[in-house]
Structure 1
């Protein structure tokens, strides 16, 4: 039978079952952000607002590819398994390209992020500022434990700052316990996770290469069995 057809079939099936579940989880994250963080997306009016759709599209592609892999493995369909292998190879190439871009153009991505933060905080000081802007900024300051665009002093030299500016404000938020500027904190987080995420992407691509090899091996075995059955 070559390649241990039964073994390869079940390994490929369970591998793609996990990929399908992961794809659904990624879709769920994208949908949740799209539905629950509309104010944030509206205020960060840059290319970064496509992030939820990127999650949804990637999750959908992962699910479709996993579907071909699962069905092709169980039904021993040469066409579906080959289609799955081709899709997987394309995804591997895309992942590696994205990882390389994150390594090479990390500074450009960070610059775009800085501009988004700057535009958001500057809109607070404009005449047309609304409550939504304040809510978004306060949420960002609470989640990232930061204060102001570059420093708390952007709120003026007040005796008490907004509660979102301090991690702990039991006795009031003052200059003594206010957090760092948001651009500094978010930039530091980006620098911390940019390369690890790119590295994980390449690592996942390596695992997917193994899946593609299993798929090609199974496809070859199925084709050989079909040839034998004709004679």
Structure 2
């Protein structure tokens, strides 16, 4: 058998069961973001609104690939296992490319993020702005615990700060207890997680390479058993 078909089969099955659950979790994150941040997505730059759909698509692909892996391993189907290995190799390449782009073009992504935030606050100060923009800004300030484009005082002055600029239990919202500006807060958050996320993507790709090797090994064992059964 070469690889120990039974051992490889069950290792591959449990590996893909874990991947399937992870895929469902990623889909859940994308759906939650899509449902809870509708107003924010409508106001932010279009290039940044693809995030929830990206999560949903990636999670769906992960689940479909894991399905082929689980079924192929349990049924010992050469075709399904080979299909799974091909899909997995493709997704590995995509993950590595995305991770490299995050490392190389991190500054460009950060610039687009800064411009989107600045554009949102600029839109609110323009004439004829609707209440939806105010609601979006208040939501961002609450979610990210930030205040104003660059700071509370430059955006709102010394008085008239919205309640979203301060912690929920504050008796009064003043510049003394207001959050930092949204651009520096979100930029700091992006810089904190950009490279770790890219690193995790590469790490997961390395684990998936092991899964692809197990799949190819199992496919070879299944083919050899089929050949022996014919003679």
The question of a shared fold, defined as TM-score above 0.5 by the shorter chain, is answered with yes
Other-structure match for 1:194? 194
Q: How many Å separate the matches in 1 of 2:49 and 2:168?
A: 30
Moved over 3 A (4+): none
Q: Note the 1:24-103 alignment, pairs <5 A.
A: 24-103=24-103
Q: For residues 21 and 156 of structure 2, what CA distance do their matches in structure 1 show?
A: 49
Q: Could you give the per-residue CA deviations for residues 58-106 of structure 1, whole angstroms, max 9, x where no partner exists?
A: 0111111011101100110101101100110111111111111111100
User: In structure 2, how many angstroms separate the alpha carbons of the residues matched to 1:186 and 1:82?
Assistant: 43
Q: In the TM superposition, what is the alpha-carbon distance from 1:170 to its structure 2 partner? A: 2.4
Q: Match for residue 204 of structure 2?
A: 204
Using the TM superposition, give the Cα deviation of residue 180 of structure 1 relative to its aligned residue in structure 2, in angstroms: 1.2
Q: CA deviation at 1:168?
A: 5.6
Question: Are residue 178 (structure 1) and residue 178 (structure 2) matched?
Answer: yes
**Residue of structure 2 in register with 1:6 after alignment:** 6
Query: Superposed, which structure 2 residues align to 1:121-140 within 5 Å?
Result: 121-140=121-140
RMSD, matched Cα: 1.2
Secondary structure, counterpart of 2:22 in structure 1: helix
Aligned residue pairs, count:
231
Give me the whole-angstrom Cα distance separating, in 2, the residues matched to 1:127 and 1:211. Answer: 57
Check whether the contact 2:148–2:156 (CA below 8 A) recurs between aligned residues.
no
C-alpha separation between the residues in 2 aligned to 1:135 and 1:159? 19
Tell me by how many angstroms 1:8 deviates.
Answer: 0.5
| Farther off after superposition, 22-31 or 71-80 | 22-31
Q: Deviations over 1:183-210 (max 9, x none)?
A: 0010011111111111000000010000
> The residue matched to 2:3 in structure 1 has which SS?
coil
Question: Which residue of the partner structure matches residue 145 of structure 1?
Answer: 145
| Residue 144 of structure 1, CA deviation | 1.2
Gaps of 5+ in 2: none
